[in-house]
Amino acid sequence: MTDEERHNLIEQANEARRYAYAPYSNYPVGAALRTKSGKVFTGVNVENAAYPTSMCAERTAVFKAVSEGEHEFDAIAVVTDNGGSPCGSCRQVLAEFGQDTAVLIANGEGELLQETTVKDLLPGAFTPEQLKNR
């Protein structure tokens, strides 16, 4: 991935973050997921007064992509004010679609703080391969 591609993906995640619905945590999160076909799907966190029914930005982006027939991802950028990392549920959902997906974690200034992979964020992930050998 080039520096320009990283910058563009982070910028799209940061732009999406403006639409986050975070009235309880005041912690808006934006994500931009790039598919192997080159399409980008954005997502934001959407909170709810019944906290467990809230949804993270990363999973919103993944579900949007899947709902449009995309199942192969190569990168996701996640932007928060302070560069927070994806939660465990988001890591597991990302692992479903490939552990080699690059994960770019940036702050609200658009500064890349960490570049990693789903595999590094979730070592020992439970993947579809485990279900094939049952």
Q: Annotated active-site positions, please?
A: 58
103 phi/psi in degrees, rounded to 5: -120, 120
- 89's tokens: 């549920």
DSSP string, 30-53: EEEEEETTS-EEEEE-B--SSGGG
Contact predicate 65/37, CB 8 Å: no
Distance CA 117, CA 114 (A): 10
